């Protein structure tokens, strides 16, 4: 068997939204497997601290990039940051960005501005991210894109219409991108986790029948699997991550 069966050692990986709870776990999971990791966030201090932590913990190359992909200047800032880091190709792109604050809002109380804000961050910005990174993905010759949807986008959730709509949109975008980019050797898949919490921390509210929390590391493991060479025949797939429940 190859010493690197996942095919991730030394490959350039961009984790968007890396400073969040799941994004940080994803960044560490790739770094632990020897990848060169570009960590994206909205703030210089947090992205820089995460890049330093990856270098210290795993001995890999890591680069911080700051950009707000909901702003008109976001794509230019992302391209400039990647160029400054010397990244001229991407083997893996993972999107972990979310604008959902976790607070329940019944549909009658959800304002148009609140609805639009989550769609802009969780769906429109995903399209912006992929199209901005597309030349670097095509240049790698073996690119994998993994987008994060949510169990809410697959099964629905009370008092979260904006989250459900945005994450259902990400699942649909995954299918469209898989079709459109297959000819360029780019495979696009999606992970749809249920609620995510740290080990030993009780969930603050009811989860509903058949829904089990996941740890950030469990979600990260599924992302790495879909980005690896072991999943090279898989394209346009939505992987539900629900604590082992069907």
Rounded CA gap, 234 and 137, in Å?
A: 17
> Domain extents for the chain?
12-241
Name which CATH class applies to 12-241.
Answer: alpha beta
Q: How far is the CA of 4 from the CAs of 47, 58, 71, 175, 215, in angstroms?
A: 28, 16, 39, 29, 25
pLDDT at res. 209: 72
Q: What are the per-10-residue average pLDDT scores of the chain (246 residues)?
A: 88 97 97 98 97 98 98 98 97 96 92 97 98 97 96 91 97 98 97 88 70 91 97 96 84
pLDDT at res. 211: 76
Rounded CA gap, 181 and 174, in Å?
A: 10
pLDDT at res. 205: 65
pLDDT at res. 198: 79
pLDDT at res. 206: 63
Q: Which helix (H) or strand (E) holds 221?
A: helix 216-227
3-state secondary structure of 120: helix
pLDDT at res. 204: 66
pTM of the model: 0.96
């Amino acid at each position: 068997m190859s010493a690197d069966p996942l095919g991730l050692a030394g490959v350039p990986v961009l984790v968007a939204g890396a400073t969040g709870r799941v994004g940080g776990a994803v960044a560490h999971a790739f770094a632990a497997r020897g990848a060169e990791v570009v960590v994206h966030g909205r703030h210089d201090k947090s992205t820089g601290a995460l890049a330093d932590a990856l270098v210290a913990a795993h001995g890999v190359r890591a680069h911080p990039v700051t950009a707000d992909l909901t702003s008109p200047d976001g794509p230019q800032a992302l391209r400039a940051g990647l160029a400054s880091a010397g990244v001229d190709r991407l083997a893996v792109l993972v999107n972990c960005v979310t604008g959902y604050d976790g607070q329940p809002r019944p549909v009658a109380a959800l304002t148009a501005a609140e609805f639009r804000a989550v769609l802009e961050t969780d769906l429109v910005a995903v399209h912006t991210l992929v199209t901005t990174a597309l030349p670097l993905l095509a240049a790698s010759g073996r690119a994998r894109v993994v987008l994060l949807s949510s169990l809410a986008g697959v099964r629905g959730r009370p008092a979260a219409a904006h989250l459900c709509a945005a994450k259902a949109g990400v699942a649909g975008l995954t299918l469209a991108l898989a079709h459109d980019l297959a000819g360029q050797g780019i495979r696009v898949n999606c992970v749809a986790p249920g609620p995510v919490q740290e080990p030993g921390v009780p969930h603050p509210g009811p989860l509903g029948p058949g829904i089990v929390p996941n740890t950030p590391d469990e979600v990260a493991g599924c992302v790495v699997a879909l980005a690896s060479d072991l999943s090279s025949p898989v394209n346009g797939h939505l992987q539900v991550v629900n604590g082992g429940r069907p």
